[in-house]
Chain A
Amino acid sequence: MTETRKTTYREALNEGLREALQQDERVFLMGEDVGHYGGCFAVSKGLLEEFGPERIRDTPLSESTFTGAGIGAALGGMRPIVEIMTVNFSLLALDQIMNNAATYLHMSGGLFNVPLVIRMATGGGKQLAAQHSHSLEGWYAHIPGIKVLCPATMEDARGMLWPALLDPDPVLIFEPAVLYPMEGTLPEKPTPVAIEGAKVLHQGKDLSLISYGSSLHKSLAAAEQLAGEGIAAEVIDLRCLRPLDDTTIIGSVSKTHRALIVDEGWRSGSLSAEISARIMEQAFYQLDAPVERVCSAEVPMPYAKHLEEAALPQVETIVATARRMLNG
């Protein structure tokens, strides 16, 4: 039995950052309030003291330029980690991410790859209203040329950063803000993780709950509740939103014959729509029921707690939908 230790999602991320900074001199972190403040969500707390201001760089509120500077520094031989405070703010840097980071390699005919990692907080659940709470990682997963990760477990929170830094191309890591205080355990000596492929976290034969990020934990809670009702739900953690792991998704659906996608993004034109389409294309004749989705309500995220809760996917909705899919 491997020895384990208690930690939080936030501390696991911090550990991943510290290890990366220790292992490679070329790695540095830059973003708003990553240094003296300790990180908006305290993810980079203590790193300035340990690694100094050359490697833990507080930036002005210039998302587009410090993201573009990350691209330039990556081209120039460094391994930058750019932190953008929240996904909503990343829209100010979208030109650099989309028009430069994602295109340089292809547009230059293979001459210039961009080994850049961009981290940002995503998602709702903290009553931060309509400019700090959206789940736009599905938008980013639309873009060829970048990889999109969403760690939902302690292992991935700690482990995804290093392989992302080894990757020769731009990698975006989305951290669901609601998970930062989540408690859990890590092995004393964690093993490396891969930044490709989904994982089946809970086996089941009756339906597949396909999810990621904070919705993954709601899906796991729903599976537990469903088990009490005699429904065996399989729970998939997508982990990597681009490229999607079709093999794991289709394999699971081919076993359970029912798929429910739980995605905090909006439904229209979304990642959940993409996954649903892939199931139709690759496993249509395996299905015993139509693919269903639990997504966020199509509204800008409201502030009031009861309204925000109503807007987000909830365990009860997942359970009710699953039950209906099984029992008609």
Chain B
Amino acid sequence: MSKQLTDLEHDLALLRQMLRIRRFEEKSAELYSAMKIRGFLHLYIGEEAVAVGVAEALGAEDAVVATYREHGHAMVRGMSMRAIMAEMYGKLDGCCRGRGGSMHLFGVKERLYGGNAIVGGGLPVAVGLALADKLQGNNRVTCCCFGEGAVAEGEFHESMNLAALWNLPVLFACENNLYAMGTALELSESVTNLTEKTAGYGVPSAAVDGMDVVAVEAAAKQAVATIRQSGGPYFLESRTYRFRAHSMFDPELYRSKDEVEQWKQRCPIENLKTQLQQQGWLDDAKWAALEKEVADEVADAVAFAEQSDWEPVEELTRFVYSDREG
């Protein structure tokens, strides 16, 4: 049965969002090589379907706690490419005035509580945000995104227990890209089926093909519906793959080129694009127009970051403590 027009429009919007993340990050890698961006740069390329799909299940009132691989999460929460690029340039117009960089993107209107670069460190914070909502009677969900590496941290288990014990509305959105930096899942976990891990805490769980944005969206909507109904947590594992190196310093000794190539055949963008083409919804002209629109947005973000000012050094010690009282 063919899809309805509105579904196809929606799929095109998902494709556009994934393409924005892809092209933005490809440019970021270039700018890293050109020494415009420094520090660590962790690319999400290959994993775009996860953030895009999960975000579809959340509303503006919901909160997101993410990791150091979070350019995509910031974008799907509505942060502009300009604010992210300027942040990576270390400029004043960056979302955090250039103080956080690639790994620490924060946004108030996006309700994005970082960018946490300590693996597992965001989980307790997400539990606390959900606790605040529960105590204040807010009907909101906190989505905590983390990689499968975090499952090995004590904070994962503590957070799972506490969220279940206190029945807190947290979507634990695990992005399983199979490698904790360079350590394969089977080298670090005794049980590699992650959805089994939460049973001991009484947290319902599901796994989804993280290379299929439509599937991720459906699974995330199911998960959030469960959370809103029960008030309690849910664990959703998206099985995905990082096409690029862990960071710009990674020689990728731990996985074969064949393996990477096989996963690239499952590229979430190519797959959805092909589907839409086959359904006659996306022709070459439409695709070219989409590419151009995204390329223009990326170019605009780079130009914006280039011309943004540096924060005056005199403000170095500002915001160690709050300027205001109460």
Q: Which of B136-160 contact A (CB under 8 A)?
A: 136, 142, 154-155, 158-159
- Whether A105 and B321, one on each chain, are in contact in the complex, defined by CB atoms closer than 8 angstroms, is yes
Interchain CA distance A65-B319 in the complex, whole Å: 25
Interchain CA distance A80-B142 in the complex, whole Å: 18
- Whether A111 and B124, one on each chain, are in contact in the complex, defined by CB atoms closer than 8 angstroms, is no
Residues of B within 8 A of A64 (CB): 124, 154-155, 158
Residues of B within 8 A of A168 (CB): 321-322, 324-326
Residues of A within 8 A of B45 (CB): none
Residues of B within 8 A of A228 (CB): none
The answer to whether A199 has its CB under 8 Å from any CB of chain B is no
- Whether A66 and B162, one on each chain, are in contact in the complex, defined by CB atoms closer than 8 angstroms, is yes
- Whether B100 and A72, one on each chain, are in contact in the complex, defined by CB atoms closer than 8 angstroms, is no
- Whether B320 and A69, one on each chain, are in contact in the complex, defined by CB atoms closer than 8 angstroms, is no
Nearest A residue to B166 via CB reads A57
- Whether A107 and B104, one on each chain, are in contact in the complex, defined by CB atoms closer than 8 angstroms, is yes
- Whether B320 and A68, one on each chain, are in contact in the complex, defined by CB atoms closer than 8 angstroms, is no
The answer to whether A156 has its CB under 8 Å from any CB of chain B is no
- Interface readout for A144-156 with B: 1 if CB under 8 Å, 0 if not? 1101000000000
Residues of A within 8 A of B130 (CB): 72, 76
Q: How large is the interface on A (under 10, 10 to 19, 20 to 34, 35 or more residues)?
A: 35 or more
Q: How large is the interface on B (under 10, 10 to 19, 20 to 34, 35 or more residues)?
A: 35 or more
Interchain CA distance A184-B205 in the complex, whole Å: 55
The answer to whether A264 has its CB under 8 Å from any CB of chain B is no
- Whether A73 and B116, one on each chain, are in contact in the complex, defined by CB atoms closer than 8 angstroms, is no
- Interface readout for B111-142 with A: 1 if CB under 8 Å, 0 if not? 00110101001011111111111011000001
- Whether A106 and B322, one on each chain, are in contact in the complex, defined by CB atoms closer than 8 angstroms, is no
- Whether B128 and A69, one on each chain, are in contact in the complex, defined by CB atoms closer than 8 angstroms, is yes
The answer to whether B106 has its CB under 8 Å from any CB of chain A is yes
Q: Which of A53-104 contact B (CB under 8 A)?
A: 54, 57, 59-60, 62, 64-78, 80, 95-96, 99-100, 104
Residues of A within 8 A of B136 (CB): 76-78
The one of A28, A72, A144 in contact with B320, judged by C-beta atoms closer than 8 angstroms, is A144
The answer to whether A110 has its CB under 8 Å from any CB of chain B is yes
With most chain B CB atoms within 10 A of its CB, the pick from A74, A111, A168, A169 is A111
The answer to whether B165 has its CB under 8 Å from any CB of chain A is yes
- Whether B131 and A108, one on each chain, are in contact in the complex, defined by CB atoms closer than 8 angstroms, is no
- Whether B132 and A65, one on each chain, are in contact in the complex, defined by CB atoms closer than 8 angstroms, is no
Residues of A within 8 A of B118 (CB): 95, 99-100
Report the minimum CB–CB distance from B126 to chain A (whole Å).
Answer: 6
Assuming A64-B154, A72-B129, A77-B136, is B320 touching A106 (CB within 8 A)?
yes
Residues of A within 8 A of B162 (CB): 59-60, 62, 65-66, 69
- Whether B114 and A68, one on each chain, are in contact in the complex, defined by CB atoms closer than 8 angstroms, is no
Interchain CA distance A73-B166 in the complex, whole Å: 13
The answer to whether A166 has its CB under 8 Å from any CB of chain B is yes
The answer to whether A112 has its CB under 8 Å from any CB of chain B is yes
Interchain CA distance A54-B63 in the complex, whole Å: 22
Report the minimum CB–CB distance from B70 to chain A (whole Å).
Answer: 13
- Whether A69 and B131, one on each chain, are in contact in the complex, defined by CB atoms closer than 8 angstroms, is yes
- Whether B106 and A112, one on each chain, are in contact in the complex, defined by CB atoms closer than 8 angstroms, is yes
The one of B96, B135, B159 in contact with A65, judged by C-beta atoms closer than 8 angstroms, is B159
- Interface readout for A266-305 with B: 1 if CB under 8 Å, 0 if not? 0000000000000000000000000000000000000000
Interchain CA distance A113-B326 in the complex, whole Å: 10
The answer to whether A109 has its CB under 8 Å from any CB of chain B is yes
- Whether A60 and B161, one on each chain, are in contact in the complex, defined by CB atoms closer than 8 angstroms, is yes
Report the minimum CB–CB distance from A244 to chain B (whole Å).
Answer: 14
The one of B106, B128, B166 in contact with A111, judged by C-beta atoms closer than 8 angstroms, is B106
Assuming A65-B158, A68-B123, A168-B322, is B165 touching A73 (CB within 8 A)?
no
- Whether A111 and B108, one on each chain, are in contact in the complex, defined by CB atoms closer than 8 angstroms, is yes
The one of B99, B124, B142, B322 in contact with A68, judged by C-beta atoms closer than 8 angstroms, is B124
Residues of A within 8 A of B96 (CB): 107-109, 111
- Whether B155 and A68, one on each chain, are in contact in the complex, defined by CB atoms closer than 8 angstroms, is yes
Q: Which of A27-72 contact B (CB under 8 A)?
A: 28, 54, 57, 59-60, 62, 64-72
Interchain CA distance A71-B114 in the complex, whole Å: 13
Residues of B within 8 A of A65 (CB): 123-124, 127, 155, 158-159, 161-162
Q: Which of B62-107 contact A (CB under 8 A)?
A: 63, 65, 94-100, 104, 106-107
Interchain CA distance A111-B105 in the complex, whole Å: 11
Residues of A within 8 A of B259 (CB): none
Interchain CA distance A54-B131 in the complex, whole Å: 10
- Whether A71 and B128, one on each chain, are in contact in the complex, defined by CB atoms closer than 8 angstroms, is yes
- Whether B158 and A60, one on each chain, are in contact in the complex, defined by CB atoms closer than 8 angstroms, is yes
The answer to whether B286 has its CB under 8 Å from any CB of chain A is no
Interchain CA distance A266-B267 in the complex, whole Å: 57
Residues of A within 8 A of B322 (CB): 105, 110, 113, 168-169
- Whether B125 and A71, one on each chain, are in contact in the complex, defined by CB atoms closer than 8 angstroms, is yes
Report the minimum CB–CB distance from A96 to chain B (whole Å).
Answer: 6
With most chain B CB atoms within 10 A of its CB, the pick from A28, A69, A168 is A69
- Whether A107 and B123, one on each chain, are in contact in the complex, defined by CB atoms closer than 8 angstroms, is no
Report the minimum CB–CB distance from A15 to chain B (whole Å).
Answer: 23
Report the minimum CB–CB distance from A250 to chain B (whole Å).
Answer: 21
Interchain CA distance A56-B128 in the complex, whole Å: 15
Nearest A residue to B104 via CB reads A107
Interchain CA distance A64-B156 in the complex, whole Å: 10
17 cross-chain CB contacts under 8 A: A60-B162, A60-B165, A64-B155, A65-B127, A65-B161, A68-B127, A69-B131, A72-B113, A72-B125, A75-B129, A109-B319, A110-B323, A111-B95, A111-B106, A144-B320, A166-B325, A168-B325
10 further contact pairs, Cβ within 8 A, besides A66-B124, A110-B323: A65-B127, A69-B127, A72-B113, A76-B131, A107-B114, A108-B100, A109-B319, A111-B106, A112-B113, A145-B320
What residues of chain A have their CB less than 8 Å away from a CB belonging to chain B?
A: 28, 54, 57, 59-60, 62, 64-78, 80, 95-96, 99-100, 104-113, 144-145, 147, 166-169
9 smallest CB-CB distances across A and B, nearest first, come from: A72-B128, A68-B124, A76-B132, A109-B97, A65-B158, A69-B128, A109-B96, A62-B158, A108-B106
